[in-house]
Chain A
Amino acid sequence: MNPAFVNRFFGIVTLVIILADIGLAVLLLGRRRSPLLQSASDWLDDMLGGSTLWIASAIALGAMVGSLFYSEVIGFNPCHLCWYQRIVWYPMVIVLPIAAARKDPRISTYALPLVVVGWGIAAYHYTIQNFPSLDAGACDPNVPCTLRWVWELGFISIPMMSLAGLTLLGLLLLWARKSAGQTHE
């Protein structure tokens, strides 16, 4: 398969995820302050119809499949920071669908700390890709973490995909918690 097509595909998906991140964050933060945002929030609740955790599961599955596709099919070798991020992502593929099936928004209590850790690693990874001098002063001849395997739309690399995905995951978990809280009210 043409790596350029795969990179472009995931690049566009990441761009959309980033826009979704911004939208969700605005709604979560602003719904109590603005009637318009509250209406938008209610509309989104109706649209999602209780599927929030399933969507989060799909995001985790997509991230896992994407990362494995890149390493096992395309041949991009994961560096140690990639592996640390995988440690965060891969268990989500198991626990999130279980929480979705049980309609259990309390999964956020357990999953959010992992999301935060993964987010920090992805942010650091993205930073050293753009400022390699912050990492070691030389490239590991085997698998350097400063290597930009993918660079789409001028700013999207694999750690950025992870960063955007983890942000969405975190926001969806918070949204599920919020929706559950409103239901009990």
Chain B
Amino acid sequence: MSKKAVKKAPSKKRRSRRTPILIGVGFVAVVALVALLTTGSNSEDAGIKQTRPVSIAGTALPTYQSGTADPAVGMTAPEITGATFDGTPLSITNDGIPKAIILLAHWCPHCQTEVEELTPWIAANPIPAGTAIVSISTSVNVAQPNYPPSKWLADWPLPTVADDANSSSSRAFGLSGFPFVVFVGADGKVTGRIEGGVAPETLYQVLESIAGK
């Protein structure tokens, strides 16, 4: 074999090894550039506060455990004093009105489904007379999906307390999973808690039974 032929063989081997590497590096660079050009800046919450200070009065309910008797039934529900996303004062107190308190997290797919189902239902069916439904936006996290909750709940028809950054309200009600519904009777005592989505019809039926209808 001639010297020229011997010299050619190694460079052909190096070229074939280099090709996938060069293609890979080029690919990463192009993708990074495309990603950079197609990614906008983040100013999603338009200056609206997604969490606000809350003050909680009363004893925290024990954490709910599904499949067992709820120890919170018969306990006095904690009272929450806070505000909505836009700063309007809003309190959830034991005011003699039977109520359902719905705790929601913006990132939870089950909460998203719940809101999708309840919004038109409430628009079409008035809340049972003499009862109330309020909600609490809690467990807010800018890094998690469907942020900001104020935008997600823009069309939500129920008054909503913006929980604080520590999700204090969820702990006060013994939340174990999202969505979480706490039913409170006219006497301010917890009548039941539900973890997970609640069908709109069921929500109304329970409210009616609490109100003694």
Contacts and interface: CB of A to CB of B under 8 A. Distances in A.
Contact of B31 (A13, A74, A138, A141): A13
Contacts of B32: 9
B107 A147 contact: yes
Given A141-B139, A141-B175, A148-B145, A47 B197 contact: no
A51 B167 CA distance: 52
B105 interface: yes
A58 interface: yes
A61 B196 CA distance: 38
A54 interface: yes
Interface in B162-197: 167, 170, 175-180, 195-197
Given A48-B20, A51-B20, A54-B20, A139 B178 contact: yes
Nearest to B15: A49
Given A2-B42, A3-B143, A51-B20, A139 B110 contact: yes
Given A12-B35, A13-B31, A149-B144, A139 B105 contact: yes
Given A74-B143, A141-B178, A146-B109, A4 B16 contact: no
Contacts of A54: 20
Contact of A147 (B16, B144, B177, B180): B144
A110 interface: no
Contacts of A13: 31
Interface in A149-176: 149, 151
Given A12-B35, A144-B108, A148-B109, A138 B20 contact: no
Nearest to A13: B31
Contact of B113 (A2, A129, A132): A132
User: Among the interface residues A11, A13, A138, A149, which one has the most CB atoms of the partner chain B within 10 A?
Assistant: A138
A31 B178 CA distance: 51
Size bin of chain A's contact surface? 35 or more
B19 interface: yes
A8 B35 contact: yes
Interface residues of B, number: 37
Contacts of B109: 129, 132, 139, 146-148
A76 interface: yes
Interface in A8-62: 8-9, 11-13, 16, 47-51, 54-55, 58
A151 B112 CA distance: 15
A12 B31 contact: yes
Given A4-B39, A141-B105, A75 B143 contact: yes
Given A132-B109, A139-B110, A146-B110, 6 more contacts: A16-B31, A51-B16, A51-B20, A133-B197, A139-B108, A147-B108
Interface of B: 16-17, 19-20, 24, 27, 31-32, 34-36, 38-40, 42, 105, 107-111, 113, 139, 143-145, 167, 170, 175-180, 195-197
24 contacts: A2-B39, A4-B39, A9-B35, A11-B35, A49-B17, A49-B19, A50-B16, A55-B24, A58-B24, A75-B143, A129-B109, A133-B197, A136-B196, A137-B196, A137-B197, A138-B110, A138-B197, A139-B108, A139-B177, A141-B139, A141-B175, A146-B110, A147-B109, A149-B145
